[in-house]
């Protein structure tokens, strides 16, 4: 039977699928059936979800990939670093704790529920096409770098001591190492230190 992945209502409630067999989830459209934006801590191939009879098994592709499971009836998200079987009604969070939250469901049941709440297939398809287009745009340089810089500026991340120390060290190293640089060269060194 097909698997559907439904976003939590606070993330829009969109239903993705149907998927058959193992579902690859990540930011690389060449490897994944479900593509998520990399700016949310999503690796190119982040995790796989496989149907196992009545339930599913979620598997991060490496221990560094952020995958969290919220068991049914609970509020707490539990980090996982290896394959784990999901109970029916569990939610999966990818990237960070505030990342996209999905509930895996059987294809037929989700299709009926989506129709009952008035989501048309056309609007869901248009939403998915728009989301994938925006994700592709934001994962390609220079748009990725511009988006990351604007996100860091809006979130106040540039005030983080890590970025301030990196900028000072990059500027000092560039000026001392080269015997002095033009303003544009020093500005570029600071920019590269802040972006990575």
Alpha-carbon span 50 to 58, nearest angstrom: 7
What topology does CATH give the domain 3-138?
Tumour Suppressor Smad4 (2.60.200)
Mean pLDDT value across the chain: 75
Pair 65, 46: CB distance under 8 Å: yes
List the domain boundaries for the chain. Answer: 3-138, 143-195
pLDDT at 183: 57
| Nearest CA-CA partner of 124 in 21, 6, 32, 2 | 6
The residue-averaged pLDDT of 160-170 equals 75
Tens digits of residue pLDDT in 70-93:
998 888 889 988 888 888 889 999
pLDDT at 68 over 90: yes
Q: What is the largest CA-CA distance in the chain?
A: 69
Tens digits of residue pLDDT in 28-61:
888 888 888 888 888 899 999 988 877 889 999 8
pLDDT at 113: 35
- Entry pTM: 0.53
């Amino acid at each position: 039977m097909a698997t559907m992945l439904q976003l939590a209502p606070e993330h829009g409630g969109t239903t993705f699928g149907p998927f058959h067999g193992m579902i690859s989830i990540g930011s690389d459209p060449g490897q994944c059936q479900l593509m998520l934006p990399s700016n949310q801590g999503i690796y190119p191939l982040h995790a796989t979800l496989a149907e196992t009879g009545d339930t599913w098994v979620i598997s991060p592709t490496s221990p560094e990939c952020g995958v969290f499971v919220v068991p049914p009836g609970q509020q707490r998200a539990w980090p996982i670093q290896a394959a784990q079987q999901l109970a029916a009604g569990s939610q999966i969070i990818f990237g960070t704790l505030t990342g996209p939250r999905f509930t895996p469901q059987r294809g037929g049941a989700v299709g009926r529920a989506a129709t009952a709440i008035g989501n048309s297939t056309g609007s869901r398809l248009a939403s998915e096409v728009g989301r994938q287009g925006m994700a592709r745009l934001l994962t390609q340089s220079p748009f990725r770098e511009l988006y990351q810089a604007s996100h860091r500026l809006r979130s106040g991340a540039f005030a983080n001591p890590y970025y301030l120390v990196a900028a000072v060290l990059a500027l000092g190293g560039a000026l001392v190492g080269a015997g002095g640089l033009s303003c544009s060269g020093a500005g570029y060194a600071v920019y590269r230190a802040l972006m990575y």
